[in-house]
Every structure is written in C-alpha cells, then in structure tokens.
Amino acid sequence: MTVPRPRPASPAGDATTLRLGYGTNGFNNHRLDDALAVIADLGYDGVALTLDHDYLDPFAPGLTRRVAAVSRRLNELGLAVVIETGARYLLDPWHKHAPTLLHDDPTRRIEFLRRAVRIGADLGAEAVSFWAGVRPETVSPQCAWDRLVAGCATVVDAADTAGVTLGFEPEPGMLVQDIADWRRLRAALGDPARFGITLDIGHCRCLEPWPVPQCVAEVADHLVNVQIDDMRRGVHEHLEFGVGEIDFPPVLAALAAAGYRGLVAVELPRDSHAAPAVAARSIEFLRAAAATAAAARTEDEVPTGTPGVPA
C-alpha cells in the first residue's frame, strides 16, 4: 500500500496556499499520461482522477500493473490525487450511472466502489469520492434510503480496512442532494470517522439555502474533498469561472479560514474539447481570486491608526 502523499501545512486564512487540482473528466479526449502532464505543466498541485473505461478502468485486465504505473507517473509529476467515481457508462453501456446503490441489484456498483477504495489506497489518494444516485421510479423512497445506507455501510467497512478517507458528494437530483441530506446519511451510518463530505462549490450555488461561503463553514469539520466550478441558481450546469453567479474570493477565503488542506479540483466535465485552454484559464482565474481574497484579509487585519497606514 502506498503511503498517502503529505499535505503541506497551510496558514489558516491564507487563500493563496490552497492546493489546486483539475479533474480528468474534463480531459476525456486525452490519454491519461498526457492529461496528467498537461495538468502538472500548468501548475496544478493535483488531479481528481475519475476511474473510467479509458482512465484506469478498474475492471480491465492488469489492474495492479496499471495502478503501479499511474502511481509512478503521479510521483514523477508531483501530483496529489483524489479518486472520483462518477463515470457515466462504465458499469452499464445503456444506462448512465447505472446501477447505483439504489437499484434492485447494486452488486456491480458496490464492487466498483470497493475497487475504487483499493485503488485509492494504492495511489495514496487523499479521498475517494462517491454519491447516492437518482432514485429509480420503481423504488420507493424508503426502500431507496435503506439500500443507500446498507451500501454505504459496506463501502465504509472497505475504507476502514484500507485506511482510506471517503468523501460523499451531495448531487442535485440525487437521493442525497444537499448538505442536510448528507448529515442525515452520516447520522444513519453512525457518524463513521472516515465518512467525510465532497463539496462541489457550484452545487452550493445551485440549491443550498445558504450563501456559498457559509456552506463551506457548515461542513468544515468533515470536508475532505472540494470540487470547484461556476454555476447559476437552480441550474445544475458546470460552468467556466466568471460565466455563472459565484463570487469566488469569499469562497476561497472561507476554505482557507476553515483550515481546509485538501485539493480544490476544477470540475468541468463537458469541456474536454478544449481542455488545455480551459484548464489554463481556470488556474489563472483561481490564482487571481485567491490573491484578491488574501489582499482583502490583509486589509481587514490592519488596525485603524497603524503608523504608516492611512486610516
């Protein structure tokens, strides 16, 4: 088992120390090796690696050898990693994201998540992220909930055995779609130590009742993985930064103030056609937003009447 890559210490409150990553689901037209190289060359600190048919398929032959090769490549490039499990048609070529933990036979999903945990352990991943899925029309809400709790308990057991941290993501339209739902699920599981939250910043703007920075504060104690993108209220569409409605400097300041030390990974799954250019624009935008957040914090800390500083 690979020892997780260390997370550098970050001074609380300094947004410029946040560690930026990029999701491979925004590089689907690249070979994995090439995608990792571009992400590293642009200056990102890590990668959110979605296990998929073309990117470290967990069901294809030679998994141990392929995982070892990816681990070496990550080390060569100095990239940290989180594992994402949102592949659309990996498990069923006809039905997007099926089966989920809510379906009549979730066996293949559970096996996928178990393998994702093992891969995460071998890569030294900071977190393995997953979600609930959409409730099938033929499944009652209570039955779907019971299935979700049972399936998550199995994944938690696997994570405990492997020493891996789980980040469960609330996803609009799914059975667990917001922070309140995630809290209910965590409580139903008995508040397991390794069951954290993956927070998508865009989702916060899409449907949460609080301002986005407050969403960060609400889950700060359990935050293990962050996805970042722009979004509009009520519309679940991952947008490039500056296209949606989110004011990012306060969001980055909230992440820093919360002492968050994991990756903040750009999540733009529909922009693979222009991945290098989009990734380059994204890191420039986030660095500028972080600098703005840090400057605002510095101004706030300057006491009135300090010698040499105008009041």
Calculate Rg over the CA atoms of the chain.
19
Q: How far apart are CA 262 and CA 80, in angstroms?
A: 9
pLDDT for residue 1 is more than 80: no
| pLDDT at residue 219 tops 60 | yes
Query: What pTM was computed for the model?
Result: 0.92
Residue 243 lies in a domain: yes
The answer to whether residue 106 sits within a structural domain is yes
Select from 46, 52, 34 the least CA-distant residue to 81. Answer: 46
Which domain CATH number covers 63?
Answer: 3.20.20.150
Query: How high does pLDDT run on average in the chain?
Result: 93
pLDDT digits (tens, 9 = 90+) for 121-156: 999 999 999 999 999 999 999 999 999 999 999 999
Give the domain range for residue 278.
Answer: 19-295
Mean pLDDT of 242-257: 98
Residue 257 is assigned to a structural domain of this protein: yes
Q: Is residue 305 part of a domain?
A: no
Q: What is the pLDDT of residues 58-110, one digit of tens each?
A: 999 999 999 999 999 999 999 999 999 999 999 999 999 999 999 999 999 99
Domain-located, residue 307? no
pLDDT at position 12, please? Answer: 53
Closest CA to 54 of 81, 88, 20, 22: 88
In a domain, 184, yes or no: yes
Domain-embedded: residue 220: yes
How far, in Å, CA of 145 to CA of 141, rounded? 6
Question: Could you tell me if residue 222 is inside a domain?
Answer: yes
Percent of the chain with pLDDT over 70: 91
Instruction: Give me the number of domains the chain comprises.
Output: 1
Higher pLDDT, 122 or 1: 122
pLDDT given for residue 298 in this prediction: 66
**Strands, E assignment, the chain:** 19-23, 46-50, 80-84, 128-130, 166-168, 195-200, 223-228, 230-232, 235-239, 263-266
